[in-house]
Structure 1
């Protein structure tokens, strides 16, 4: 039999890269940075090898390290010096993210994105204002509309500090519209919103909660983060955020939800972001430490799969390592 189709012809060196369908570049990546107001020295994050919480005085140096690898954008997460029931340090003018943002934007050319949420700032570790009986219930319910007022204050405080983009992550109904309205009213029409549009109630967040000191003190987040079983719901959530003015649409986590990334890419024209979360990072690190996987190769392949699924931007703890390879 004569073979007319031989796909292997295009897999040889020289032509292989010319016909490659998907490319990964350092400019596709966003590096998370944890700034800790409770410490005066860098603190390694045990569950995320290679990452640290950095004190405010080292925030600029940390971002400069990121930029040296070719990664252009960072997303800031803050660990405040104190917490309370409503998370008031989240919108304080002298808050940890606000001060870090001022310093980083003044001294570096990094593109600064800020996380807009309350879980790292509330003493209960949830992403909003709790119902009065929340602690007595197995699953926590938050006051949605009252929480929106606080998210508006956080986003505006970040914009005033110089944030290039804000990223609301709490999966609060109406959060994009509320934040867009507040930013526009305060003269920050130019500040885009990257919404965590489809954020699942996932088991892959564990190491991040250690890193950002944001684990719930009781209960879980099932009532405001998405059920991992649902795909149609993701389309609804994303469509609502688009209607409310989201500029970038994020899916979180990434690897277990490549189908969602692909579907959002096909149905919407907005840029799509994916968060390659802490658990995805930690499991590859653990396997590599056992000698079961090659870390560099599996990390690169993982990010390439996220890009191939349709993500334009990838938030990942591998950002610096992969950028150095590229």
Structure 2
């Protein structure tokens, strides 16, 4: 137990263990952090612990979806705990970033929420450090009650983060999709609809698995994609293709469902949508039954990349709007893939011939 005094009243908190030696060490660590924060206030500076606490309470962070907030807070906590909550922010340097990169890559046991010895790629390390940079950039723009900036400048500005040189972005071919779709019904009746929706709309799994029948307008041939299940919080109504409409109509007739009932009801609780891990497992089984190799580094997202790649040639703004992207650059760098047929057409069929200079 540890005692915290608030307004003269004692409030005891459990440490979650009975190790006296560990409790003593944690007590000294807490005291050290409190003293560091007090010193930082007197010097009008900022510790990493203070930065973390202020950032997670900021409107910028609270505007994120609940799941995103949880993941971001765990990443930021991991970096801050490693570098030291009592560390003065202005003392951070490129060497600190490199220390974290080295430790995170090999899975050092001191890291918060990391399985000891588990190695990770650069993309995972970058994601952790991006949260620290986001908090630092936020603190530069934020002011205290007396009008002083929380941080005069970002001490890590210009520091390069690790990047994947050859990121895995697998895309499913149409022939592979057809084979997996053919094996879907042998796994579960909802998997066939899931595949048709994922391939026919290009949407993320979080968007289509949370659809309700209220979102589906079969007479109008459109789907409402709700902001609460969109990664960027973007709500829109988008037309649906004939194969998607046909599949939805068949399932709706089978379910005899309307209104707020989920399109993908969970097997054990029809009032809730299917868990994404269950859908993942179903898809893995379909790959196996279809004798199609499971993509390395991707599952449902291979269909999102398929959708984007098959629509090269359309105006990028329209592709982004139809598929639910807010950032056109993301489609070009992470989703639309180079394919041999398009490269061949580019080489053999120029769109125009230049006339001579006038």
Relative to total residues, which structure has the larger strand share, 1 or 2? 1
Q: Tell me the TM-score normalized by structure 2.
A: 0.22
Q: Tell me the TM-score normalized by structure 1.
A: 0.24
Larger Rg: 2
Q: Which protein, 1 or 2, shows the higher relative CO under an 8 Å CA cutoff with sep ≥ 6?
A: 1
